[in-house]
Structure 1
Amino acid sequence: MNLVDDTLLDGLMTDMRAVAKREIMPRFHAIMSESARSKSAPDDLVTDADLCAEQALGEALVARLPGIALVGEEAVAEDASILSHLRDAELAALIDPVDGTWNFAHGIPVFGSMLALVANGMTIAGLIHYPVTGDFVLARVGKGAWHVANDGSRTRLSVAATRPIEQMAGFMALNMMPPAMQANLSPRLTRFQQVTNWRCSAFEYRLLATGAMHFCLTARLMPWDHAAGVLIHSEAGGHAALLDGTPYAPTIHSGHLLLAPDVQSWERLAINLGGEY
């Protein structure tokens, strides 16, 4: 029996909307600097919205899918062993309750909530919710990628068309990469039309899957940042792999992931970005 169908996706969207309304948006409208705390670095923040939304969404998932293993960003920050559930569980949920926490904590409405369902180590469904606008981008394996508007209307997504390197725009968090990689990449960025960083994977994957942007090179590979987005990008027609060519899986947590509209574009981008690191 298929683990994921449209009825389940509709239920998960209902849960994510409810959590955003109750736990995220009231704190965004009333955000105060003392509600944000640093985690691994001064700009790696956690807020009450992250903690409460992860707890609430986890409870909703367990109620809807009894026995599901929960792997939340904030829970893993407290206990790294939770990551092993992705490899061991028949069904696990990856939760990024507020992706783009730095933006959220500073009153910038560029953040989202990301949820991926992972079966035996492979992503089978991904949903990204945008609490400010109330819409989603989502996908399940083999069924395409879709934008779901606040009124429920759906539009199928497609990545950008192939184009020359100098006409490509992409995302890269250069400041988060190792110094040697920064030095190698910096002079190469002028080859592209534009390279930017929105500090929010949820929105970056949206722009990739809708064809507004062409590529992304990741600095880190934490699964809650990428599992949902990579599936959505793939179902929209895109191609993603680590720089050494390894296919992406949510159980891979090191290396640099390159996303492109197609295989040929990926190969040209890899060459122009300097190959493996």
Structure 2
Amino acid sequence: MKAVSDELLDELMGIMREASAGEILPRFRSVTSDSIRAKTAADDIVTDADIASERMISERLKARLPGITIIGEEAVSEDASNLAKLADADLAAVIDPVDGTWHFAHGTPMFGSILAIVSGEKTIAGIIHYPVLGDFLVARPGQGAWHVAADGSRTRLSVAAPSPVNEMHGFIPLHMFEPGRRAELAPRVLKFLRVTTWRCSAWEYRMLATGAMSFCLNDSLKPWDHAAGVLIHAEAGGFAATMAGEVYRPTMTKGHLLTAPDEASWNSILTALSEN
């Protein structure tokens, strides 16, 4: 497995800052009907900012890392066969240029940009940038998870302390599960102190990695949503696996991913969500 150096990590963060300043923030709160389009559903949308920033990040990465395979959310949306390239790539970049596009398009600042560098089916660097705040969450295997402020100062991250199920706060996007599964889960979420969804993986992983929220159950596995966040969460001390007990890999496309403060908490949450 390859490794991402301190120098390269800083360069990758610089690329994301450049895309934010050049393509994302100038379009924030100026989205019009001409610059927003639906993808798979009325609330699954793409804007000019998504497309332009993905293009910029892709071009900068190809120039810095010749031969790298690019897996961009918008490119996969246009041609689903691009996703299959991730499994065979020696080195790949997985990009979500504007995660939380619904928020971005409606003028709220809860969006981010996500970049994962993947090698040998493992994420070797996870970076989430928050354009409005100008800060980052970053992680590399074995080196901890860090908040990098806009001024460059760094603070190590830790997930929430384990707690009883009835004291836990978590994320579950009930509306995104198929109807039968939604009906099963709906009464079970009442076992927790609070369950919500923010419609933005970048911000949900921020709340998990900083200890503000305890857990998250995801309805689907898309690498641009999870490849970076799972590494950041793990390096902050968390535990994640599918509900079937499989350890997460960026190439996984099926299953429901459950993140928790530790393995014991994960088992408690799984039990609460599986039993009436």
**Counterparts of 2:227 and 2:77 in 1: how far apart (Å)?**
18
**Counterparts of 1:11 and 1:213 in 2: how far apart (Å)?**
30
Structure 1 position 34, deviation (Å)? 3.0
2:93 alignment counterpart: 93
**One-letter amino acid of the structure 2 residue matched with residue 160 of structure 1:** A
Residue 254 (1) aligns with residue 254 (2): yes
Residue correspondence of structure 1 range 132-151 to structure 2 within 5 A: 132-151=132-151
Structure 1 position 111, deviation (Å)? 0.1
**One-letter amino acid of the structure 1 residue matched with residue 32 of structure 2:** M
Moved more, 182-191 or 28-37: 28-37
**One-letter amino acid of the structure 2 residue matched with residue 76 of structure 1:** V
The C-alpha deviation readout for 1:177-233, integer Å capped at 9, x for no partner, is 011111111001111111011110000000000000000000111110000000000
The C-alpha deviation readout for 1:33-90, integer Å capped at 9, x for no partner, is 3311000011000000000000000001111111100000000011111112210010
Moved over 3 A (4+): none
2:54 alignment counterpart: 54
2:273 alignment counterpart: 273
2:212 alignment counterpart: 212
**Counterparts of 1:55 and 1:272 in 2: how far apart (Å)?**
43
Q: TM-score, normalised by structure 1?
A: 0.98
**One-letter amino acid of the structure 1 residue matched with residue 197 of structure 2:** N
1:105 alignment counterpart: 105
**Counterparts of 1:33 and 1:190 in 2: how far apart (Å)?**
39
The C-alpha deviation readout for 1:101-143, integer Å capped at 9, x for no partner, is 0010000110000000010221111000000000000101111
Residue 22 (1) aligns with residue 22 (2): yes
**Counterparts of 1:258 and 1:264 in 2: how far apart (Å)?**
13
**Counterparts of 1:13 and 1:121 in 2: how far apart (Å)?**
22
Segments of 5+ residues of structure 1 without an aligned counterpart are none
Q: TM-score, normalised by structure 2?
A: 0.98
1:189 alignment counterpart: 189
> In angstroms, what is the RMSD of aligned CA positions?
1.0
Give yes or no for contact 1:173–1:219 (8 Å, CA) kept in 2. yes
Give yes or no for contact 1:234–1:240 (8 Å, CA) kept in 2. yes
**Counterparts of 1:92 and 1:185 in 2: how far apart (Å)?**
35
**Counterparts of 1:197 and 1:222 in 2: how far apart (Å)?**
17
Give yes or no for contact 2:2–2:119 (8 Å, CA) kept in 1. no
Structure 1 position 148, deviation (Å)? 0.1
**One-letter amino acid of the structure 1 residue matched with residue 254 of structure 2:** S
Segments of 5+ residues of structure 2 without an aligned counterpart are none
Residue correspondence of structure 1 range 68-87 to structure 2 within 5 A: 68-87=68-87
Give yes or no for contact 1:86–1:120 (8 Å, CA) kept in 2. no
Match of 1:113, SS?
strand
Structure 1 position 2, deviation (Å)? 4.7
Match of 1:115, SS?
strand
